[in-house]
C-alpha cells in the first residue's frame, strides 16, 4: 500500500501507540497535542518501546529510523496535507466533535477522519464536520502496539469507499479488523458489560467474594484475568464511565445498569492498580488477594451465571445486526482475550440450557436485566446452533 501521511491527535497512551504503529508501517506521522510536555513524554515512550522491539528482532529497521518518521505538532494547521487522521483525545463528545470539525476545515475532503472513541456515537461526532461522509470510527485496543484488534465503525453518513479504504489501510498495519454498527459500545464494550456487571452483582449479594469470583472465572472458565482483577487493571473510573455511557445511550436499559459499588470506589479514588487500592489492595505492585473458596458447586454457579449473561449479549448483538457472527467471535477473543467465542460457547453449553438459566434468573429477580435474547429463544425452540 502507498505510504501516506497519518495525523494523530492526542499524545497519551492510545495516541502515541497508534502513532508508533503507523510509523512502524512506514508512514510519515504528525503527532499533535496541546501540551508540549505530553508530546515529549510520548516520543520518549515510543523510543523505549521501539528499542525493546528492535532488541527482540521485531523491527525491520532501527528504532531511530521509525522514530524519525514521527513529527511533533502543536497547531492543527500542521495537519494540512494528511491523508488519514485519527483522534485519540479524552472520551468527551463535545471535545472530540469540535476537534474533528476543526481538523476537517484544515484537511478538506482529501483526508479521512477517524475517531478512536470506545463508546461514543460516530453520527454525533461527525455531525459538526463540513463533510461527515469522510468520518468513521477506528477503535484500537490498549496497548495499540500489542493488541491486534481494531473495530471499524461507519457512521450513518460514512461513504462506502471511506470504509473500504480505511479497513484496507489498517489491515496493512498488521491489524485484525472487525466491522460494527454505530451503536453504544460497538462490539466489545457492549458485549463485555456483564463480565463486570454480573460479577459485581454476585459480590453485592454476598454470594461470593471478589477473589472467589475471579478464581471461578479463571480456573473453570479459562479467563486470563478475573473481572475484579481486570476492573482494577483498567481503572474503576474508566470502567465505570464506559458502563455508564453505554447504559445512558441505550436509554437506561437495566441490562447495562452501572454499579453503585464501583461508582463509590471511583469517587473515593480507589481506582485499582494505578492508585494502589481498588477491589484489591496492591503492595509493591502486586495484588493482595484473600484466599478464595474452593466450593466447586459455588464456582460452577458463578461461571454459568456470568457466561449466560455474556452469551445473551453476543446473541443480541447478532440479532440486532451490530456485527456478523464471525466478527463477534473474533472481537471477543482478540479484543479482550476471551478463551473462546461466546457463540461457540453457547453451542457447547446448549442454547436451551442458556435460555433456561436466564429465565430462572429473570423469574427469581423479577428484573428485565435477565430477559433472554429473542434470537436465543427462537434457536432453543427450533433446536438450532450457531455453528455446525
Residues that are catalytic: 118, 139, 151, 189
296-319 helix and 342-349 helix, angle to the nearest 10 degrees: 120
Give 307-366 as a 3 state SS string. HHHHHHHHHHHHHCCCCCHHHHHHHHHHHCCCCCCHHHHHHHHCHHHHHHHHHHHHHHHC
Residue-wise over 25-43: b if at least 16 C-beta within 10 A, else e?
bbbbbbbbbeeeebbeebb
Q: Tell me, rounded to whole angstroms, the distance of Cα 270 from its chain centroid.
A: 22
Residues 6 or more apart whose Cβ sits within 8 Å of residue 262: 196, 200, 231, 236, 239, 240, 243
Give the number of residues written for the chain.
388
Q: Which residues pair with 237 in a beta bridge?
A: none
Query: β-strand 28-32 against 5-9: which pairing, if any?
Result: parallel
Give burial (CB, 10 Å; 0-12/13-18/19+) of 60.
Answer: exposed
C-beta pairs of 103-109 under 8 Å, 24+ apart in sequence: 103/7, 103/9, 103/76, 103/79, 104/129, 104/130, 104/131, 104/134, 104/135, 105/130, 106/76, 106/77, 106/79, 106/80, 107/7, 107/79, 107/80, 107/81, 107/82, 109/134
Query: β-strand 176-179 against 281-283: which pairing, if any?
Result: unpaired
Distances (CA, A) of 180 to 79, 192, 196: 28, 15, 22
Whether 58 contacts 29, CB under 8 Å: no
Give the 3-state secondary structure of residue 154.
Answer: strand
Residues 6 or more apart whose Cβ sits within 8 Å of residue 200: 227, 259, 261, 262
Amino acid at each position: 500500500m502507498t505510504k501516506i501521511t497519518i495525523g494523530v491527535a492526542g499524545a497519551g497512551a492510545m495516541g502515541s501507540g497508534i502513532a508508533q504503529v503507523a510509523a512502524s508501517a512506514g508512514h510519515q506521522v504528525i503527532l499533535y497535542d496541546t501540551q508540549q510536555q505530553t508530546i515529549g513524554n510520548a516520543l520518549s515512550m515510543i523510543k523505549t518501546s521501539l528499542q525493546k522491539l528492535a532488541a527482540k528482532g521485531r523491527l525491520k529497521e532501527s528504532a531511530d529510523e521509525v522514530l524519525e518518521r514521527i513529527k511533533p505538532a502543536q497547531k492543527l494547521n500542521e495537519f494540512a496535507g494528511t491523508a488519514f487522521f485519527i483522534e485519540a483525545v479524552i472520551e468527551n463528545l463535545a471535545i472530540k466533535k469540535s476537534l474533528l470539525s476543526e481538523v476537517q476545515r484544515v484537511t478538506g475532503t482529501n483526508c479521512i477522519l477517524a475517531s478512536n472513541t470506545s463508546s461514543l456515537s460516530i453520527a454525533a461526532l461527525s455531525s459538526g464536520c463540513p463533510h461527515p461522509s469522510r468520518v468513521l470510527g477506528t477503535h484500537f485496543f490498549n496497548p495499540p502496539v500489542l493488541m491486534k484488534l481494531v473495530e471499524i465503525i461507519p457512521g450513518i453518513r460514512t461513504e462506502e469507499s471511506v470504509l473500504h479504504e480505511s479497513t484496507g489501510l489498517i489491515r496493512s498495519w498488521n491489524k485484525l479488523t472487525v466491522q460494527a454498527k454505530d451503536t453504544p459500545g460497538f462490539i466489545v464494550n457492549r458485549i463485555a458489560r456483564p463480565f463486570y456487571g454480573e460479577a459485581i452483582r454476585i459480590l453485592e449479594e454476598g454470594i461470593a467474594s471478589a477473589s472467589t469470583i475471579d478464581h471461578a472465572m479463571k480456573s473453570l472458565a479459562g479467563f486470563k484475568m478475573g473481572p475484579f482483577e481486570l476492573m482494577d487493571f483498567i481503572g474503576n473510573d474508566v470502567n465505570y464511565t464506559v458502563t455508564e455511557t453505554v447504559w445512558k445511550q441505550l436509554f437506561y436499559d437495566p441490562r447495562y445498569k452501572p454499579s453503585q459499588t464501583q461508582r463509590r470506589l471511583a469517587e473515593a479514588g480507589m481506582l485499582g492498580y494505578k492508585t494502589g487500592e481498588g477491589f484489591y489492595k496492591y503492595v509493591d505492585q502486586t495484588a493482595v488477594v484473600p484466599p478464595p473458596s474452593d466450593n466447586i458447586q459455588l464456582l460452577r454457579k458463578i461461571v454459568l451465571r456470568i457466561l449466560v449473561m455474556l452469551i445473551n449479549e453476543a446473541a443480541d448483538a447478532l440479532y440486532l445486526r451490530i456485527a456478523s457472527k464471525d466478527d463477534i467471535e473474533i472481537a471477543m477473543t482478540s479484543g479482550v482475550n476471551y478463551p473462546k467465542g461466546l457463540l461457540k460457547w453457547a453451542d457447547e453449553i446448549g442454547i436451551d440450557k442458556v435460555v433456561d438459566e436466564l429465565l430462572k434468573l429473570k423469574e427469581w429477580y423479577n428484573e428485565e436485566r435477565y430477559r433472554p435474547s429473542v434470537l436465543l429463544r427462537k434457536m432453543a425452540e427450533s433446536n438450532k446452533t450457531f455453528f455446525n
